[in-house]
């Protein structure tokens, strides 16, 4: 079994949310640590391929709900040029500015340190055939929270969406 556990990317945020991220093998089995973190969470599955778009552009959620977002990279492009992630931003965050800042943040899976406070939750990058996931608590404030792939160029090609909390 080729499991690659990935360390937690972020500590608790101002909203009291914590994120976890796991990379799974092509067989799709998650590390045991991820199972404990997802207990009681509703799972939302996203898929992305070489089209540079998520298969869903909207995720409906209830304020305060615990979500587990599982992102599968269904593409064939090598991770170095076609990796995908899921980054959920706070209300009012400028997704285009975040994407620009992420361009030079390869060492941190394209999560720019200068804009880390705008991030509610994020995954690591998924290569072809891989899945990554993050479990987080939806903020208590109802509203529209943008999400995007921060890999360079993907946001500009339409890899973005909205988490609608109501």
Q: What is the pLDDT of residues 121-159, one digit of tens each?
A: 999 999 999 999 999 999 999 999 999 999 999 999 999
pLDDT at 80: 92
CATH code for the domain of 97: 2.60.40.420
As a whole number, mean pLDDT of residues 66-93 equals 96
Q: Report pLDDT for 149.
A: 98
pTM of the predicted model as reported, rounded to 2 decimal places? 0.80
Q: Which residues contact 110 (CB under 8 A, 6 or more apart)?
A: 85, 102, 103, 125, 150, 151, 152
Rounded to whole angstroms, the Cα distance separating 123 from 111 reads: 10
What domain count does the chain have? 1
Higher pLDDT, 37 or 128: 128
pLDDT value at 68 more than 70: yes
Question: How large is the average pLDDT for residues 37-48?
Answer: 89
Domain region containing 78? 4-165
Quick one: pLDDT at residue 38? Answer: 67
């Amino acid at each position: 079994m080729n499991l690659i556990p990935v360390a937690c990317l972020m500590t608790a945020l101002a909203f009291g949310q914590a994120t976890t991220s796991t990379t799974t093998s092509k067989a799709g089995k998650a590390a045991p640590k991820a199972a404990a973190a997802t207990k009681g969470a509703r799972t939302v599955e996203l898929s992305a391929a070489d089209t540079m778009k998520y298969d869903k552009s909207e995720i409906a959620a209830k304020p305060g709900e615990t979500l587990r977002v599982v992102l599968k990279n269904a593409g064939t492009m090598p991770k170095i040029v076609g990796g995908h992630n899921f980054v959920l931003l706070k209300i009012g965050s400028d997704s285009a500015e975040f994407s620009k800042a992420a361009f030079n943040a390869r060492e941190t899976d394209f999560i720019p340190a200068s804009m880390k406070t705008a991030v509610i939750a994020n995954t690591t990058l998924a290569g072809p055939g891989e899945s990554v996931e993050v479990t987080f608590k939806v903020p208590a404030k109802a509203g529209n929270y943008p999400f995007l792939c921060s890999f360079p160029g993907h946001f500009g090609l339409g890899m973005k969406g909205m988490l609608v909390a109501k």
